[in-house]
Amino acid sequence: MADLLSTPPRSSPLLAASPDISRGPDSRHRCSIDVGADMHEKELDPEIQRIFQSSEEGSRKGSHCHAMKEKIGVDKRARRKLIIASTLCVLFMIGEIIGGVLAGSLAIISDAAHLLTDFASFMISLLALMLATRSPSKKFSFGWYRAEILGALLSILFLWILTGVLFYMAVRRVIDQNYTINATIMLITAACGVAFNIIMGISLGHHGHNHSHQKEASNSKTDESNSNPGLSVQEAVRHESYGAINSNDSDTEPLVQVKDTHKERENINIKAAFIHVVGDLIQSIGVLIAAFIIYFKPEWKLADPICTFVFSLIVMVTTFKIFLDIVNVLMEGTPRGIDITSVRRSFLKIPGVKDVHNLRLWSLSMDKIALSVHLAVDSQTDPLKTLRLGSAMVRLKYDISESTIQVEEYVAEMDDCTHCQGAK
């Protein structure tokens, strides 16, 4: 325990090592590492070496503080776009409700109800951006990230109730057929709905362009990493535009494959809002088609409740996956898109790590992941260098926001301990 608590010298074995990397047809990357008082050569996974270099470079250049400044700027831009979209949404929602009542169209009222849920989702995203800036407290040690999840859950439940009411009204219309529709007002309102959704999509920014640009940047960085592996991650950390760092061993899984975090922070909320708008646009086009049918063929007024049936089905299908994601977060499930076995293998690549146990992965929110793990190392391994490499790996490859890594001495009994073996 005293070794773990003692302050390491500035020239800590791996932390201060300047690796002598050589390449040859029959050799891997090798570097000289000072372990304890002895100097000896030890084979080091090339990807481990790269992540060491990137974390060392990031520490010297203060990239963490730079990232925080970038995040604040991105949040302000996302907040401004969401406020504009919310204002447009509530204005047209009121207009569509009025138009739907005057036209006697259940399809238009259904479209307005969908706009109401979009407005609620925009408000939830704004609330999440605001609460995410609040510091953790004694009562909420992780901060307020889960407020976004609770808000999304309430929004979905409200949408399901509203959809059920409209579905029931549509069934009654099909049975009774005792209703009239002003096709002219319905047509004008539906056309305005299509135009409005196009305007709202534009107000959310050039989402598609950003996505394309991000992909190109990632590919560019990947090419750089293959040609200059010692520099690519350092440049990536500095510019926050990361690509995949590939090993020269074809059967070695990349330890570092980090993301374009600058774009992704903005897209988390803006992309969700953009998807909502695209869904609204499709629904508005459906209402417009129904309005044309009723305008030219008034006897086909059943097109109105049929539209409501279709929209109800679309709402249930599109929101059910979101509901499952929310349940996964609230149940502390492993975040989607992260393979816990892959994380375990990445830890085992760190020199000196003999066993990985008590590995836990869970989501604080849809985009913020937490991790805790015990790393069992041999007696000659410096626990601080293991801690540093492990922390850098989970941050750069898996984009994990909160990590707690406990380094302990390996004992043989761990091999037979079912608790230490962890999740299957």
Q: 20: which DSSP letter? A: -
Structural domain includes residue 88: yes
Same structural domain for residues 297 and 417? no
45 and 186 fall within a common domain: no
Q: Is residue 351 part of a domain?
A: yes
Write the CATH number for 396. 3.30.70.1350
The answer to whether residue 21 is domain-embedded is: no
pLDDT (tens place) for every residue of the chain, 424 residues total? 444 444 444 333 333 333 333 334 343 333 333 333 333 334 556 666 666 565 555 555 444 444 444 455 556 777 888 888 888 889 989 998 999 899 998 888 888 887 887 888 788 778 777 776 777 888 888 778 788 788 888 888 888 888 899 899 999 999 988 888 898 999 999 999 899 888 888 877 654 444 434 343 333 333 333 333 333 333 333 333 333 333 333 344 444 444 444 444 444 567 767 777 887 888 888 889 999 999 998 889 899 999 889 888 888 887 888 889 889 999 988 888 888 999 999 999 888 898 898 899 998 887 789 999 999 998 888 889 889 989 888 888 888 888 999 999 888 777 666 666 666 5
Backbone angles phi, psi at 362, to 5 degrees: -150, 165
- Split into its structural domains, the chain has a count of 2
The domain in which residue 284 lies consists of 64-208+262-330
In a domain, 303, yes or no: yes
Answer yes or no: is 152 within a domain: yes
Task: Verify that 267 and 289 share a domain, yes or no.
Answer: yes
- Domain-located, residue 213: no
Residue 18's φ and ψ, nearest 5 degrees, are -105, 95
> Is the whole-model pTM more than 0.75?
no
278 and 386 in a single domain? The answer is no
| Residue 44: DSSP 8-state | -
| In a shared domain, residues 51 and 157 | no
Task: Please spell the DSSP secondary structure of 227-279, one letter per residue.
Answer: H-HHHHHHHHHHHT---EE--SSTTSPPSEE---HHHHHHHHHHHHHHHHHHH
Determine, yes or no, domain membership for 225. Answer: no
Is the domain of 310 the same as that of 366? no
Q: Are residues 119 and 200 in the same domain?
A: yes
Residues 50, 68, single domain; the answer is no
**Are the CB atoms for 36 and 26 separated by under 8 Å?**
no
